[in-house]
Amino acid sequence: MIRTLCAVSSALVALALSGAALADAPPSDAPPAEAESEEPIVLPGAKKPHRVQYVSLGLAFSTSLVESKGLDAYSDDDVLPMISVFGTVTPFATRPFSVHLAFGWDWGQTEALARGIPSSLDVHRLSLGIEGRYMPISRLALFVRALPAAIHAEGNVQDASFADHLSAGAWTWGVDLTGGAAARLAAFGNSENPAASVWMGLDMGYRFAGTAEMKLKPAGLTEDDLSRRFGELPMAALDLSGFTGRLHVSVWF
Amino acid sequence: MRKWVWLPLLALAAGCGEREAMWESTAYGEPFAVHGMKGAVAIVDVSAERVIFASPASADELSFMSSPVSRGYATSAPTDGGARLAVLASGDFPRRTDDDQGPSLQVLDPSSEPPAVIEYPLGDPLSGLEIDPESEYAVIYPGGGEASFVQNPNELVLVKLGEPPSATNPVPASLRSYGGRPEGFTFTPELSLPGGARRLLVVRTDRDVALIDLAEPEKPEITVKLTAGAVAPKPAGIAVTDGDADDPDDARIAIRLAGDPNVVLLDLLPTPADKTATSPHAFTPVPNIVDVGGVPTDVTFGRTDGGLRLLAPVPSRKALALVEPATGVTSEVDLGYSFQRISLVTDVVGESDGGGDVALLWSTDSPAVAFVALGGAVGKPYKSVEVRTLEQPVSSVLDVPAPNNHLKILASQNGSGFVVLNLLSRTTTPLLASATDTHAVVSSDGERLWLSSESRSALARVGLSELHPRNLQLYQRVSRVFDLERKDQGRALVTLDTAGSMAFTLLDAKTPDLTQSREYLGILLGDYAKEEAQ
């Protein structure tokens, strides 16, 4: 499902970015756009003032290239797709450059056959960091993000050696360093001073992550299993570091 | 191409990345070899090109490690009393790039982490492996599964396991063939031969026998042609005696022939003076053919008060044939039952009154065992014959190490009955299992017998001093049982369940208690590679 959503969103964002570029391009015979705009706030020295929106919430589809052999048990390839809910809060309104507090929750899943045995990996990522934003025009934002995160990875294997399944899970850390652009798709209220606006964007970068030591043991224990004693088996350590890309849709308030 | 759905900007990157080939293999139905080592269970995980070693560190913990092995696994066998594992691989065939692996014999030592590996490169991929019981040598031979375009089935490779690989190790050897190919190997103990004490490798083909001098394996072998005219008798068994240890001229090899009442005796005599200039060997096998009166099913050498005899049970005559090897004179011991197998137990029960050996005979078609004391009596070539009847014929006999080496475990053919035979008291204690797929394993410290059933997930520990069975019902199936030495000097029982990706159950072997057991599930999914210490 995650892969399908990402495919649709990739097409949409390509259209959105090209649309934003066309919308913001001044006609050759028209006066410059900034000569006609009425901005609510004017900062000294700023070439062009912009509307400040203090909160954003969004949904993202991302993928990472994970070359760690720890992923091999759960994926046929090196791709880890994820869905994200994210947002930003703007503590200090400045422009055209601004700094925002960014937060998010990512969930990724991948499935495969591990030596003929159905297996899956679930990854949860809670992040909190900062986003630097530059808005050269009102319909386009450029940004960079640094997002430290806590990552939990859990692999599951439906093996015949146990009635329920085997599981291996671990916490680790991560930091995303990404940059990208977003285009405004729609605005509600005054076009130049909207109460809310809808944005679509794309960012890319590198995801740094610690190594998750995966230990395989039975899961889904019944009451009868509680008296049994199980040992843990080391699976290949999972390192989720790798290049990442993200498509996102967000609403700014 | 599945990656087309991914982000256009990541299309190039998303297209790369293949996982390791082992994950594409299946844990079900794959070929796995499992060996009980001295202090570990070794699983040859062929698809993953590795050997997994599971060693009981304590009564409560199994430690795992693995060692990579070459591609093209052919076979494997423990050496050095289970301290090391020999793995034969054919490598990549055909070998086209520098990265492709050549055929090799790898010897893995799991006593270090990661396991130490000695690799002996081979010239050609061969699939047969025979390990010397004294672990000095390994013989590699064409086992029939080779992929080579052209092959000489009589080409052998002899590996000196105690020496590192070099220009003179392994040693290639080629048998002179009269149309046969190797089918069995017997490593002799050290024999006093003309030219000095040495060990021999006796190679059985389907029609002749070859002798290789292990002290000088580069010398040509001696092939003893058994074929007589159109008839090609097939060697079926070998027995060896050094005779009198002080006499270098009385070592002998007996060759039992399949479906033939004749036994070939090879006297290993000094090379005749007229041939010493041309023969590379100081000894020459001189064959004698002895008719034992019926088709023998086993042969061994034993001592009577009248001297050395070849002992051959002849089931069709319900007799044991005694052959005086120097003269070929044969006498018979009437046993009353047809016995197929024979083993000397003199080292346990002591010599008979007359100074002869004591032989144990058992039958695969009659419910009986017999003790034959070879000391002489008036008018008889033996002192006594003592028969013990059983409920079932015997399918196999397990030896018990000291301190209970006076016991033998007789497995019956119905798969559920076992008999503990006390060689000293001549008593037979039955042990009856309720499953017909019951297997017996004797601990290497000689203190316990383990009986297990895969279909019942059942396990029983029988203390060999009191013969009291203690039953356990495990959570996992019991496909194999291993009684191992622990790292803390205790004893561990490790059971293997081959279902799924395999599972181990660890118990204390001396006081097995299910409440204190520990299970390890998903063995084949684990990653046990340890980096080599710098």
For chain A, give the number of residues: 253
pLDDT higher for B271 or A31? B271
ipTM value: 0.85
Q: Which tokens in the block code for residue A10?
A: 């990739």
Q: How far apart are CA B444 and CA B468, in angstroms?
A: 18
Q: Minimal Cα–Cα distance from B395 to chain A, Å? A: 32
Using a CB–CB cutoff of 8 Å, tell me whether A159 touches chain B.
yes
Q: Minimal Cα–Cα distance from B46 to chain A, Å? A: 12
pLDDT at B378: 61
Contact B398, B343 (CB under 8 A): no
- Contacting residues for B19 by C-beta, under 8 A, at least 6 apart: A69, A71, A72, A75, A76, A77, A78, A112
**Looking at chain A, which residue has its C-alpha nearest residue B3?**
A79
Count CB atoms within 10 A of the CB of residue B215: 14
pLDDT at B376: 67
Q: Which tokens in the block code for residue A61?
A: 């589809």
Contact across the interface for B525 and A14, Cβ inside 8 Å: no
Interface of A with B in 181-210 (CB under 8 A): 202, 204
**Shortest CB distance from A157 goes to which of B22, B61, B525?**
B525
**Looking at chain A, which residue has its C-alpha nearest residue B496?**
A161
State how beta strands B73-79 and A211-212 pair.
unpaired
Count CB atoms within 10 A of the CB of residue B194: 15
Q: How far apart are CA A205 and CA A201, in angstroms?
A: 14
**Shortest CB distance from A6 goes to which of B6, B17, B25?**
B6
Contact across the interface for A63 and B9, Cβ inside 8 Å: no
**Shortest CB distance from A231 goes to which of B20, B23, B520?**
B520
pLDDT truncated to tens, each residue of chain B (534 aa)? 344 334 444 544 445 578 888 898 888 766 789 999 999 999 999 989 999 999 999 999 999 999 999 999 999 999 999 999 999 999 987 778 888 889 999 999 999 988 999 999 998 888 999 999 999 999 999 887 666 666 777 889 999 999 999 999 999 888 876 767 888 999 999 999 998 999 999 999 888 899 999 999 888 889 888 876 667 788 999 999 998 878 888 899 999 999 999 999 999 999 988 888 888 899 999 999 999 999 999 999 999 888 899 999 999 999 999 999 989 899 999 999 999 999 999 988 887 776 789 999 999 988 999 999 987 656 677 778 999 999 989 999 999 999 999 999 999 988 889 999 999 999 999 999 988 889 999 999 999 999 998 888 889 999 999 999 999 999 988 999 999 999 999 999 999 998 889 999 999 999 999 999 999 999 999 999 875 443
Contact across the interface for A230 and B519, Cβ inside 8 Å: yes
Phi and psi torsions of B505, nearest 5°: -120, 130
Q: Residue A21 belongs to what H/E stretch? A: helix A2-24
Q: How many helices (H) and strands (E) does chain B have?
A: 2, 42
Mean of the per-residue pLDDT values of chain A: 83
Q: How far apart are CA B239 and CA B300, in angstroms?
A: 5
User: Helix (H, G, I), strand (E, B), or coil: what is residue A16?
Assistant: helix
**Looking at chain B, which residue has its C-alpha nearest residue A7?**
B5
| Cβ contacts of A72 on chain B, cutoff 8 Å | 19-20, 23
Residue with tokens 């022939």: B257
**Shortest CB distance from A231 goes to which of B28, B62, B525?**
B62
Q: How far apart are CA B283 and CA B248, in angstroms?
A: 10
Contact across the interface for A117 and B500, Cβ inside 8 Å: yes
| Cβ contacts of A169 on chain B, cutoff 8 Å | none
| Cβ contacts of A159 on chain B, cutoff 8 Å | 500-501, 521-522, 525
Mutate to test the interface with A, among B6, B497, B515 (most CBs of A within 10 A): B6
Q: Minimal Cα–Cα distance from B506 to chain A, Å? A: 10
Contact across the interface for A114 and B13, Cβ inside 8 Å: no
**Shortest CB distance from B22 goes to which of A77, A113, A115?**
A115
Asked if residue A39 has pLDDT above 50, the reply is no
Contact across the interface for B526 and A10, Cβ inside 8 Å: no
- Contacting residues for A27 by C-beta, under 8 A, at least 6 apart: none
Give B396-419 as a DSSP string: EEEE--TTSTTEEEEEETTSSEEE
State how beta strands B394-399 and B384-389 pair.
unpaired
**Shortest CB distance from B19 goes to which of A76, A117, A243?**
A76
pLDDT at B206: 85
| Cβ contacts of B524 on chain A, cutoff 8 Å | 115
**Looking at chain B, which residue has its C-alpha nearest residue A218?**
B521
Tell me how many residue pairs between chain A and chain B have CB atoms under 8 A apart.
146
Residue with tokens 């859990």: A154
Using a CB–CB cutoff of 8 Å, tell me whether A143 touches chain B.
no
Contact across the interface for A115 and B25, Cβ inside 8 Å: yes
**Shortest CB distance from A79 goes to which of B14, B500, B503?**
B14
| Cβ contacts of A75 on chain B, cutoff 8 Å | 19
| Cβ contacts of A73 on chain B, cutoff 8 Å | 23, 525
CA B20 remoteness from chain centre: 35
Q: How far apart are CA B60 and CA B223, in angstroms?
A: 55
Contact across the interface for A235 and B519, Cβ inside 8 Å: no
Mutate to test the interface with B, among A233, A239, A240 (most CBs of B within 10 A): A233
Interface of A with B in 53-112 (CB under 8 A): 63, 65, 67, 69, 71-73, 75-79, 112
Contact across the interface for B26 and A116, Cβ inside 8 Å: yes
pLDDT at A174: 97
pLDDT at A22: 40
pLDDT at B229: 66
Asked if residue A28 has pLDDT above 70, the reply is no
Contact A77, B3 (CB under 8 A): yes
Cα atoms in the Cβ-side hemisphere of radius 13 Å centred on A203? 24
